[in-house]
Structure 1
């Protein structure tokens, strides 16, 4: 095993342990009354006490095991490191779903080496499913290899999307979705970028497009999708934020053209 492979395997092992521990915490917190602790980009972009507790757990476990690593999390301050490894965590991806008791939420944890994501884990909290990948290995769900869905005409593709918490941006997104809808089989909106990307990897979705997602939303799941045979690209969005488009490598050009024609991009 090469040094790089050994590193990614060790990072994945740590990520699996920590993400599953954080998911257990979130699951326990979700069994009681969930309340909003704060808001972020708008009055509908919420943070719960469980978000903060999950990230505190992840930070503590990672930095105890690897004190020289850097850390980027959604809810706390960035931590600089000297090892060349940076951890990227979303303590609850799908916080609004969690707040309402809906099952579509996940813990996401990825590790970068010199700016490249080499290990990623997404734990679907309610279902208990564990998606994982390394940059030099297969994408898996609960240890079993994943692969994207086979080729299909654009009109027979199921595409997921999401919406910004900034009202002006979501108005642009809504109009673009309305134009894309007649071109595909249907549109889904789960409320979790990480789970949507993992479902592209698993063949449960044919594509995903969303503007305004952050690195912690897609770092781990994007790696899972790519290792399962998907392609993921970043483009300037029509609302002024980063646009993520993901789908099986076969037929990706047709999906991307449809996304552009619908007005998702700012190009």
Structure 2
């Protein structure tokens, strides 16, 4: 199936998954390995729904999903799923949370869909086809670094990365407009693509956190990569840096030096 046609069939599936998640306002919560690392029955219901309904669209595709016990990127197509990105926010009723579905083919991101569970905004892109939010085209902002809003992540289960993360945040704070921290990397990255903020970094993200948004960002004209000197991959956790063309070089230099 042609990618644009596939995207059009996947969009209502994400919206239906969002309705399913919102229908479970007080889900049971379970702890996973690591400090403050949670999963809820809503995560599990969302993931099961997505896998069941995406599978017929592309029968040859495999699944690489957060709440799946074993994940290995297979040759060909792989759906990369985060059933709820920002689970802690979702548990607490704090708005930024999303469903993120990316499609990777032979190591290359080719499609991304991110549904904001609070606003209902659906960010989408296919490789070579541009990036959109609810059908409206996206393009990164042009603000210079001194006026830029930078968002960043601090996964609580990687406490060993705290010093380097906050060193980078402090240095950026002293030369940019301001900093933000939302708790949903997928939405942060989409907001960079939409020009609502200008840069993003996190010291370690799993592929399901950035697979969909990476396609959306790049189609909006914004670079995304891992640390300088390292190879970007959809197969393992890694640092993620992204930004508008105006901000990305300085972001990459500062964060690369602090985290490298």
TM over 0.5: yes
Tell me the equivalent position of 2:133: 141
**2:14 equivalent to 1:9:** no
- Of the candidates 151, 156, 165, which is equivalent to residue 173 of structure 1? 165
The question of whether the paired residues in 2 share the 8 Å contact of 1:120 and 1:132 is answered with yes
- Of the candidates 43, 68, 71, which is equivalent to residue 76 of structure 1? 68
Output the TM-score relative to the length of structure 2. 0.90
Query: What is the 5 A alignment of 1:243-258?
Result: 243-258=239-254
Tell me the equivalent position of 2:31: 38
- CA RMSD for the aligned pairs? 2.1
Task: State the Cα distance separating 1:177 from its structure 2 match.
Answer: 1.5
Query: What is the 5 A alignment of 1:1-267?
Result: 7-30=2-25, 33-40=26-33, 42-78=34-70, 84-150=76-142, 152-164=143-155, 165-235=157-227, 242-261=238-257, 263=258, 265-266=259-260
Name the SS of the counterpart of 2:114 in structure 1: strand
Q: What are structure 1's unaligned runs of at least 5 residues?
A: 1-5
Output the TM-score relative to the length of structure 1. 0.87
The question of whether the paired residues in 2 share the 8 Å contact of 1:72 and 1:88 is answered with yes
Q: Deviations over 1:50-106 (max 9, x none)?
A: 111110111111223333211100001457898821111000000010010011000
Tell me the equivalent position of 1:3: none
Name the SS of the counterpart of 2:50 in structure 1: helix
Q: Measure the CA separation in 1 of the matches of 2:4 and 2:27.
A: 36
Q: Measure the CA separation in 2 of the matches of 1:72 and 1:27.
A: 23
Q: Measure the CA separation in 2 of the matches of 1:172 and 1:257.
A: 14
Q: Measure the CA separation in 2 of the matches of 1:176 and 1:230.
A: 20
Name the SS of the counterpart of 1:120 in structure 2: strand
Task: State the Cα distance separating 1:236 from its structure 2 match.
Answer: 6.9
